[in-house]
Chain A
Amino acid sequence: MSNPVLQVKDLRVYYHTARGPAKAVDGVSFELEPNTRLGLVGESGSGKSTMALALMRMIKTPGRIEGGQMILGGIDLATLSSEAMRQVRLSQISMIPQGAMNSLNPVVRVRKQMIDAIYAHNVKMTAKEIDRRIAEVIEWVDLEPGVANMFPHELSGGMKQRVCIAISILLKPKVIIADEPTSALDVVVQRQVMETIGRVQAELGASVILIGHDMGLMVQFVNRMIVMYAGKIAEMGNIRELFTQPLHPYSQLLISSLPRLDSKGELQGIPGIAPSLLNPPSGCVFHTRCPHVMDICSKQAPSLIAMDGGQMVSCHLYGEPLLW
């Protein structure tokens, strides 16, 4: 295996509220291999989007990156100056936004928006090269060349999202974060957009972090997956193993809650509600909803341990507990 493009070590992002810090991302570590598609799932409030924003260093007050490292291409993004980070955005790491409908400036032509995005970076490109690059990315995302000269209101939702994808690959970043890129699109367009992201990823050899809670989409798209719960990693591993043999009780419940074509039984949800991030349960954050809860779960937080199949899981059911 080659060196990871992105290493996240013990990342912690807290939102400082009047009632104390809300630990949206609490000690997350993972590595992203080149040319891979990583899925990030979890229910609302599990810290997925916060983590994406942290990787872009776009956390707004009262949020703050409390600690940890995000090493991209040998540089720790957490320590970069804001100007240096601005240069890194789009050129090293880019993000395909949620909600394509509002992501483009309504009064500026697509081409101009692309040129503006390139000009914001210290790249030496002649006008001709920029033109060629724009034509290239437009073609990659399967749009007509004429789209570049249109205004956003002349485009459909799927076309707008593809323009957003085209913008995100303008400077050939190593990592592309896609935060629920298909929300608010219909299923057919969803599929086309995901295919576009996949093709662009393969062409660039970049890595994609796909954030979402559409498990069906995940299975079709990603190679590896991280299941997050209350700001922590519950389980991570290759998509195949994770889906056929989920280890963490939360992953098990999450996957069994999916509707299946072959069985027409009643759909099962996960009982309980997501824990408060202000006042998380003691020990394992999932113990209040876990069907396999043990005594130790409320006393001690489990750590992420590697299992035989390469999966990593954070649960007391696996491995020896340190103390009773």
Chain B
Amino acid sequence: MRFLKTLAGLRHHPLLTIGLVIILMLILFGPVASRFVNVKGAKVGSSLPEQTPSAEFPLGTDTYGREILPVMVVGTPLTLRIGLIAGTIGLGLGIILGFMAGYFGGWVDTLIKGAADVLLTVPGLLFLVVIATTLKGAVSVNMMALVVASLAWMWPTRTIRAQVLTLRERQFVMVARLNGMSGFEIIVRELIPNLLPYLAASFVSAVGSAILASIGLEALGLGPQNEPTLGMTIYWALYSTSVLRGLWWWWAPPIAVIILTFIGLFLISIGLDQIANPKLRRAT
């Protein structure tokens, strides 16, 4: 009942709805399409190389004899998975560190804020390249996600800390302390409920930046070599100079999926922002 109500409420937020539909479709794309498409076509040498799109190969094939459609079917969920895992870990760390720094203050704050600030000034890609190169050899998709997550926590930490700093000075937090609640209880029962919409929006942007970071690494060839993620597909396409040779069906589909992913995430982010931030709400 409550769920249905929530669904009905979505019609007041068209942007959020469109974004959710796009992301839902992308998530379902892999599992559903793999029922109709022969996934074996994503393996190297499974078919003739460099075929233009046709009835037999709907999106053509690449230089290594991979069919692009199955590559998309396999690769899209892999890339989304990296984004979800890295975004979740990054935001999770950000929540823990941000709440600790913001609420407890003092040396805890100095330590966490200092670490986040220092890491923020270092170009993330450089760091990731160093980490990825030291992990030479077979990088798995999950490992990739962890590498990205290792640098995905600073922004959430800083922004959540800032939110907590304003929230903890509110009277009801003081009253909660007067009522004998401990610091941990105040964080869980008073602060987090107030920040839920904000955390949801942060989660979306964390997933987005994690996907972006993973694709950046992969396009440099530092991703999982044996998995056809979207970023790795772009890497192989660049490696084989597909753009110059006019093999558009090779590089265009992964880019299209990535663009669609970001549009979807962006719309969700705007939609959540409108819910979380009444100032952005239009009078209806």
Interface residues of A (CB under 8 A from B): 56, 58, 83, 86-91, 94-95, 97, 99, 102-108, 116-117, 119-121, 164, 167-168
Contacts and interface: CB of A to CB of B under 8 A. Distances in A.
A235 B189 CA distance: 43
Interface of B: 170-172, 174-182, 185, 189-190, 193-194, 196
Contacts of A121: 180
B178 A89 contact: yes
Contacts of A90: 178-180
Contacts of B178: 56, 58, 89-90, 94-95, 97
A113 to B, nearest CB: 8
A121 B185 CA distance: 11
A287 B64 CA distance: 97
A104 B196 CA distance: 17
A103 B172 CA distance: 4
A164 B194 contact: no
The 4 A-B pairs at the shortest CB distance, nearest first, are namely A89-B180, A102-B171, A120-B181, A90-B180
B181 A116 contact: yes
B interface: dominant SS: helix
A106 B181 contact: no
A33 B196 CA distance: 46
Nearest to B188: A116
A117 B177 contact: no
Contacts of A97: 171, 174-175, 178
A108 B181 contact: no
Nearest to B178: A95
A104 B174 CA distance: 10
Given A89-B178, A121-B180, A167-B179, 4 more contacts: A89-B179, A104-B175, A116-B190, A117-B180
A120 B194 contact: no
28 contacts: A86-B181, A86-B182, A87-B180, A91-B180, A94-B178, A94-B179, A95-B178, A99-B171, A102-B171, A102-B172, A103-B171, A103-B172, A103-B175, A105-B172, A105-B190, A106-B172, A106-B194, A108-B189, A116-B185, A116-B190, A117-B180, A117-B181, A119-B185, A120-B180, A120-B182, A120-B185, A164-B175, A167-B179
Contacts of A117: 176, 179-181
A116 B181 CA distance: 8
B176 A105 contact: yes
A87 B190 CA distance: 18
A6 to B, nearest CB: 17
B194 A105 contact: yes
B118 to A, nearest CB: 27
A120 B185 CA distance: 7
Nearest to A88: B180
A121 to B, nearest CB: 6
A58 B174 CA distance: 9
A184 B18 CA distance: 45
Contacts of B185: 116, 119-120
Nearest to B192: A107
Nearest to B177: A58
A78 B225 CA distance: 65
Contacts of B177: 58, 89
Contacts of B171: 97, 99, 102-103
Contacts of A83: 182
Nearest to A52: B178
A167 B172 CA distance: 12
A108 B176 CA distance: 12
Contacts of A89: 177-180
Given A97-B174, A103-B172, A105-B172, A116 B189 contact: yes
Contacts of A102: 170-172
Given A99-B171, A116-B185, A164-B175, A105 B193 contact: yes
Contacts of A164: 175
A181 B276 CA distance: 31
A86 B170 contact: no
Contacts of A105: 172, 176, 189-190, 193-194
Nearest to A167: B179
Contacts of A106: 172, 194
A206 to B, nearest CB: 16
Nearest to B190: A105
B114 to A, nearest CB: 21
A104 B172 contact: yes
A91 B181 CA distance: 11
Contacts of B189: 105, 108, 116
